[in-house]
């Protein structure tokens, strides 16, 4: 067991959590418009997946991309600036919350169209194969993507053409309120499970508890090594319990700001979301495991939280002081070769 690696994954998870709390705060303050999506509840998956990636790998994400970008190494200050649509944002402010991406971080483009990220990642696998870069394509996508035909086409192609891609389906339907009962989108399959679709095609498939950082890390690290060696695609379904704040279409901080002390002090836990604090919330869950397994101390956990909270506080200041793009900038970069 690599203690430093695990603590680093925890640090990423904590950073994502504080980042998302900041995004929520900005939205409450009406500092950015429109719809948005938070990654709370899925931090273990994103942080553990990115821990095994290298600079030559490419990650493609969705509308729920914040955690992927942070764990991939995007500086939170540029990510927050992007969410406020400022010039120092990862996309110069023109993408916003739906589209955090950074070519420098190996995350070239983020599609907010359901299913969009899946073939793009296969494209990165295609390029890696042609260029013998040793890289792999990684698609992070929601279970809803299986409702779109292009996802089936991509799985089939990845097998036919032997593309080095890892498809990470983050299934956050467990615990969700069905759309027909007024909740937010969840996937709709008649009986079966999404994993049976790539299985039927003969793809190597794995299921993992997406709220368990260690399990995701071990599985993904192993898959990444093999995909690099064989060039064959792999599918992973990471199941996570839905964060109650994501029951409805707009996020709501129903579980309050995270108190890491809940990991060792159960007396602070009560009320409607007790179950979330005690068993599901991946940040508290991992903090608890780290302590129980002797990987980290209370002091380590609190220290990491203090650190990342500071990072986010200064990232907020940075984002707020970054200017809005000039109106004339709307004309730039329509076509390559023009300014």
Partner 1 sequence: MAVMTHAEALVEAIRECMDEDPNVALVWGSLMGVGGNNEHVEHIKEDFADRIFHPPISEAAIAAIATGAAMDGVRTIFPMGTASFMFRAWDQIIHEAGEAHYMSNGAVSVPAVFHVVHGLRGGGSVQHSQSPQSMLWNAPGIEIAMPSCPADAKGLMRTAIKSNNPTVFIDYQKLNKRSGEVPDGTYDIPFGVADIKRQGADITIVAASLQVVHSLEAAEVLSGEGIEAEIVDLRSLVPLDEEAILSSVGKTGRLVVVDEAPPRCSVASEVIATVAEKGMDLLKVPPVRVNRLPVHVPANVALEDFIGPNTDRIVEAAKQLCS
If one asks whether residue 101 binds partner 1 (CB under 8 A), the answer comes out as no
When the beta carbons of 155 and 176 are compared against Mg ion, the nearer one is: 176
**Minimum gap (Å) between residue 41 Cβ and partner 1:** 20
Using CA atoms, how far apart are residues 286 and 295, in angstroms rounded to an integer?
11
Cβ atoms within 10 Å of 27's Cβ, excluding its own: 19
Handedness of CA 73, 282, 85, 329 (dihedral sign): positive
Using CA atoms, how far apart are residues 337 and 91, in angstroms rounded to an integer?
18
Of the residues 46, 137, 144, 245, which one makes contact with partner 1 according to CB under 8 A: 144
Handedness of CA 261, 267, 271, 273 (dihedral sign): positive
Contact criterion met (CB below 8 Å) for 146 and 189:
yes
If one asks whether residue 96 binds partner 1 (CB under 8 A), the answer comes out as yes
Shortest-Cβ-distance residue relative to Mg ion: 142
Instruction: Name the one residue in this structure whose structure tokens are 């995004």.
Output: 23
If one asks whether residue 119 binds partner 1 (CB under 8 A), the answer comes out as no
If one asks whether residue 29 binds partner 1 (CB under 8 A), the answer comes out as no
CB within 8 Å of 204: residues ≥ 6 apart: 223, 232, 233, 234, 235
If one asks whether residue 240 binds ligand TPP (CB under 6 A), the answer comes out as no
If one asks whether residue 149 binds partner 1 (CB under 8 A), the answer comes out as yes
**Minimum gap (Å) between residue 38 Cβ and ligand TPP:** 10
Range in contact with partner 1 (rule: CB under 8 A) among 4-12, 129-137, 147-155, 227-235: 147-155
If one asks whether residue 103 binds partner 1 (CB under 8 A), the answer comes out as no
Of the residues 57, 88, 143, 237, which one makes contact with Mg ion according to CB under 5 A: 143
If one asks whether residue 209 binds Mg ion (CB under 5 A), the answer comes out as no
DSSP 22-35: HHHHHHHTT-S-S-
Of the residues 143, 209, 212, 217, which one makes contact with ligand TPP according to CB under 6 A: 143
Cβ atoms within 10 Å of 253's Cβ, excluding its own: 16
If one asks whether residue 251 binds partner 1 (CB under 8 A), the answer comes out as no
Contact criterion met (CB below 8 Å) for 38 and 66:
yes
If one asks whether residue 179 binds partner 1 (CB under 8 A), the answer comes out as yes
DSSP 188-217: --SSS-TTHHHHHHT-EEEEEETT-HHHHH
Q: Which one of ligand TPP, Mg ion, partner 1, none is in contact with 35 (Cβ closer than 5 to 8 A by kind)?
A: partner 1
- Per CB under 8 A, residues contacting partner 1 are 32-35, 85, 93-99, 111-115, 144-145, 147-150, 179-180, 182, 185, 187-188, 324-325, 327, 329-331, 334
- Per CB under 6 A, residues contacting ligand TPP are 37, 63-64, 112-114, 142-145, 172, 185, 187
């Amino acid at each position: 067991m690599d203690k430093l690696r695990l603590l680093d994954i925890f640090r990423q998870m904590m950073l994502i959590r504080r980042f998302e709390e900041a995004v929520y705060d900005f939205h409450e303050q009406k500092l950015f418009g429109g719809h948005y999506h938070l990654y709370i509840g899925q931090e273990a998956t994103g942080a553990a997946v990115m821990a095994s990636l290298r600079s030559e790998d490419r990650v493609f994400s969705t509308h729920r991309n914040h955690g992927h970008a942070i764990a991939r190494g995007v500086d939170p200050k540029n990510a927050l600036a992007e969410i406020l649509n400022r010039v120092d944002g990862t996309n110069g402010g023109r993408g916003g919350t739906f589209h955090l991406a950074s070519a420098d971080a190996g995350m070239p483009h983020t599609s907010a169209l359901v299913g969009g990220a899946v073939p793009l990642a296969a494209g990165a696998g295609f390029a890696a194969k042609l260029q013998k870069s040793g890289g792999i394509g990684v698609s992070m996508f929601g279970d809803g993507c299986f409702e779109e035909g292009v996802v089936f086409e991509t799985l089939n192609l990845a097998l036919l053409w032997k593309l080095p891609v890892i498809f990470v389906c983050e299934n956050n339907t467990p615990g969700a309120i069905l759309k027909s009962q007024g909740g937010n989108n969840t996937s709709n399959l008649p009986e079966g499970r999404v994993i049976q679709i790539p299985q039927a095609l003969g793809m190597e498939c794995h299921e993992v508890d997406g709220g368990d950082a260690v399990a995701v890390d071990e599985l993904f690290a192993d898959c990444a090594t093999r995909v690099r060696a064989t060039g064959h695609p792999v599918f992973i379904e990471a199941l996570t319990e839905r964060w109650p704040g994501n029951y409805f279409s707009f996020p709501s901080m129903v579980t309050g700001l995270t108190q890491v002390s809940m990991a060792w002090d159960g007396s602070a836990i009560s009320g409607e979301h007790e179950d979330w604090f005690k068993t599901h919330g991946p940040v508290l869950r991992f903090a608890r495991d780290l302590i129980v397994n002797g990987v980290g101390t209370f002091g380590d956990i609190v220290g990491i939280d203090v650190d990342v909270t500071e990072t986010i506080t200064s990232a907020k200041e940075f984002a707020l002081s970054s200017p809005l793009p000039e109106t004339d900038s709307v004309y730039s970069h329509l076509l390559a070769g023009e300014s």
